[in-house]
Amino acid sequence: MTIGICELLWIRSLLKDIEYEQKDAMKLYCDNKSAIEIANNPVQHDRTKHVKIDTHSIKEKIEDDIIAFPFVKVEQLADILTKAGASKALNNSLDKLIMCDIHAST
């Protein structure tokens, strides 16, 4: 997220150079709820000492209303290998991966 923020700030400075004023917060869409919570919740910042510099810079940008982190749901095919899910999502992913369910009745 920090790299994405750096890119957004660079774009913001370019827009400022051509005299375009950004009124709303720039949105960095994220599919990781934990990362969004850490960025938005000041209590979580104290629990993440190993990324202290990055989270504090992110926290400052959120407080200054420069950036926002809306959640976006992303479904990736590899999710069936790493996450529990509903049977409908599993069947859709299996179809996309051209895999068969060995436990399905024949």
The tens-digit pLDDT sequence of the chain (106 residues) is 778 888 888 998 999 999 988 788 888 888 877 777 777 775 655 555 555 556 667 777 888 888 888 888 776 666 666 767 667 777 777 777 777 767 777 6
93 within 8 A of 83, measured Cβ to Cβ:
no
Residue reference for tokens 């982190």 = 69
pLDDT at 72: 81
Q: For residues 7 and 19, what is the distance between their CA atoms, to the nearest angstrom?
A: 18
- Phi-psi domain of 28 (left: phi exceeds 0; alpha: psi -120 through 50; beta: other): beta
Global pTM value: 0.56
- What Cα–Cα distance (Å) separates residue 27 from each residue in 5, 11, 24, 78? 9, 12, 9, 26
Q: Please give the DSSP secondary-structure letter assigned to residue 104.
A: S
Residue 103, CB-side half-sphere exposure with 13 Å CA sphere: 4
Using DSSP, state whether 59 is helix, strand or coil: helix
